[in-house]
Amino acid sequence: MAQSVKLADDIMALVRREADLHSRSVAGQITHWLKIGRAIEHSGSFDYARITAALEGKLDTTQLGEEEDVAWLDAFTEKMGHPSDDEEAFFARRQALGRGVGLDAGGNLVYAKEDTAA
């Protein structure tokens, strides 16, 4: 039975581009990548559990193999691009207290802008 899955627009753009390049349907491309990913996770040179341990801080990233390191970096970059609920709450509290909420490109403390619409 077919199932619907929501994918981000940027992921779908990648899928469509690769599907066109390899004369596959969108569903065919996703299935192809799914099979490759599963095979990699189960291969002897790539241990997904080690990557997960590195993402959790339980394994030093210098202990990862080359393929594992690439997968870890991709996952780490993705994870760091989306603040957790706890991080959002932390910075909301800092903003409410008038404290700095981050650093600019020059390393200077940035304060939340006052809401001038009130």
Taking the whole predicted model, whether its pTM rises above 0.75 is answered as no
Chain centre distance of CA 74: 6
DSSP lists the bridge partners of residue 90 as none
Q: Name the helix (H) or strand (E) containing 38.
A: helix 26-41
Per-residue pLDDT reduced to its tens digit, 54-94? 888 899 999 988 888 888 888 888 888 788 889 889 988 88
- How high is the pLDDT of residue 25? 92
- pLDDT > 70: what percent of the chain? 94
- How high is the pLDDT of residue 115? 53
Per-residue pLDDT, averaged over 96-114, amounts to 81
